[in-house]
């Protein structure tokens, strides 16, 4: 699955299995765990998971909670989480989970962190939930239906000029090549856009495109499914556009992509050339 996840090919009205309310409940409870632990140093102290990645106790606690609940409710479904091994049971349905996106933000008391949950049907996202508990904001997307923030429909920004647009960059800051490449790209974009942001929480930045707070985001590989699956669905259902850096359909985690409101998409791509 890791390299087969792809953007929904069709967004027309479709029959979506009744996973939405369950996923929302998981995200809400996960957010409660994160906020309960937010001022507990033993739960928020960062440690290195690998050379370039951090983890804290809350990551594992939320992972275990979601994994247990999904196994209990849907024992035959596949399950992928940032904090656990991939479980492939041969089901058409896969749960893709980031228990805590924005771990560094969380460990330093920054509010930009989320729990992200996606349900895939044969590698295509059909349900996406991004919950930002500090702000109390629940973003939910259903393929072919609606994108919502706290039960209100959301749409991408109507801004059509790159010069008036706020963009975000998402890259791997501890990878020297990725960092240098995007420092140069960021400098070029600063010359054309209103402003550039880097919030350190990819799922939330994609959700912000879906609700019109950002006009676009440029995401560089390496990309992990749990970082982008729910947010990608939010952007598309809310009326946005996703392509690779050449403007062609995005084909998987091996390549970076541009997400936008669609109206400034070609202008962003021209800067990337």
Query: What pLDDT does 223 receive?
Result: 87
Judged by average pLDDT, the poorest of 40-49, 145-154, 177-186, 262-271 is 40-49
Task: Give one DSSP letter per residue of 26-63, joined into a string.
Answer: HHHHHHHHHHHHTT-HHHH--EESSSS-EE-HHHHHHH
Q: How far is CA 145 from the centre of its chain?
A: 19
Residues 176 and 239 occupy one common structural domain: yes
153 or 256, which is more confident?
153
Mean pLDDT taken over the chain: 89
Domain that holds residue 214: 162-272
Tokens of 271: 């800067």
Cα–Cα distance measured from residue 198 to residue 200, given in angstroms and rounded to the nearest whole number: 6
Residues 24 and 149 occupy one common structural domain: yes
pTM for the predicted model, two decimal places = 0.90
The proportion of the chain whose per-residue pLDDT surpasses 90, expressed as a percent, equals 70
Q: Find out whether 130 and 116 touch, Cβ atoms under 8 Å.
A: yes
CB count within 10 Å of CB 120 equals: 26
Query: What pLDDT does 227 receive?
Result: 92
Torsion, CA 156, CA 160, CA 164, CA 165, rounded to 10: 40
Residues 129 and 191 occupy one common structural domain: no
Cα–Cα distance measured from residue 234 to residue 148, given in angstroms and rounded to the nearest whole number: 8
Residues 147 and 60 occupy one common structural domain: yes
Q: Which tens digit of pLDDT belongs to each residue from 62-107?
A: 999 999 999 999 999 999 998 878 899 999 999 999 999 999 999 9
Q: Which tens digit of pLDDT belongs to each residue from 163-184?
A: 999 999 987 666 677 677 777 8
For the chain, report the end-to-end CA distance as a whole number of angstroms.
30
Residues 193 and 129 occupy one common structural domain: no
Residues 177 and 126 occupy one common structural domain: no
Question: Is 10 inside a domain boundary?
Answer: no
Question: Is 227 inside a domain boundary?
Answer: yes
Residues 135 and 188 occupy one common structural domain: no
Q: Find out whether 239 and 156 touch, Cβ atoms under 8 Å.
A: yes
Residues 44 and 111 occupy one common structural domain: yes
Q: What is the number of structural domains in the chain?
A: 2
Question: Strands 216-219 and 147-149: what pairing?
Answer: unpaired
Residues 240 and 147 occupy one common structural domain: no
The 3-state DSSP class for residue 239 equals coil
2 band by pLDDT with thresholds 50, 70 and 90? very low
Instruction: Compute CA distances 216 → 115, 121, 176, 195, whole Å.
Output: 21, 26, 24, 11
Question: Is 189 inside a domain boundary?
Answer: yes
Torsion, CA 101, CA 32, CA 232, CA 49, rounded to 10: 20
Tokens of 151: 């039960």
Residues 167 and 140 occupy one common structural domain: no
Residues 146 and 196 occupy one common structural domain: no
1 band by pLDDT with thresholds 50, 70 and 90? very low
Q: Which tens digit of pLDDT belongs to each residue from 196-248?
A: 998 999 999 999 999 999 999 999 887 889 999 999 999 999 999 999 999 99
């Amino acid at each position: 699955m890791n390299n087969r996840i792809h953007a929904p090919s069709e967004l027309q009205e479709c029959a979506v299995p009744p996973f939405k309310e369950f996923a929302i409940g998981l995200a809400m409870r996960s957010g409660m765990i994160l906020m309960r632990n937010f001022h507990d140093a033993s739960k928020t102290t960062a440690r290195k998971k690998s050379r370039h990645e951090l983890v804290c106790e809350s990551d594992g606690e939320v992972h275990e909670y979601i994994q247990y609940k999904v196994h209990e409710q849907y024992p035959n479904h596949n399950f992928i989480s940032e904090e656990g091994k991939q479980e492939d049971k041969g089901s058409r349905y896969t749960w893709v989970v980031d228990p805590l996106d924005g771990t560094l933000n969380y460990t330093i008391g920054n509010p930009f962190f989320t729990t992200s949950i996606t349900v895939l049907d044969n590698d295509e996202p059909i349900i996406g939930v991004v919950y930002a508990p500090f702000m109390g904001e629940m973003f939910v997307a259903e393929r072919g239906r609606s994108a919502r923030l706290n039960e209100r429909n959301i749409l991408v920004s109507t801004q059509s000029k790159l010069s008036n647009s706020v963009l975000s960059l998402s890259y791997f800051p501890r990878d020297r090549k990725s960092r240098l490449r995007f420092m140069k790209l960021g400098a070029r974009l600063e010359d054309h856009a209103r402003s550039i942001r880097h919030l350190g929480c990819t799922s939330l930045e994609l959700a912000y495109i879906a609700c019109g707070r950002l006009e676009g985001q440029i995401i560089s590989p390496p990309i992990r499914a749990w970082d982008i699956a729910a947010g990608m669905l939010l952007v598309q259902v809310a009326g946005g556009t996703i392509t690779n850096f050449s403007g062609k359909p995005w084909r998987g985690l091996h390549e970076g992509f541009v997400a936008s409101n669609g109206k400034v998409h070609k202008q962003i791509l021209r800067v990337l050339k």
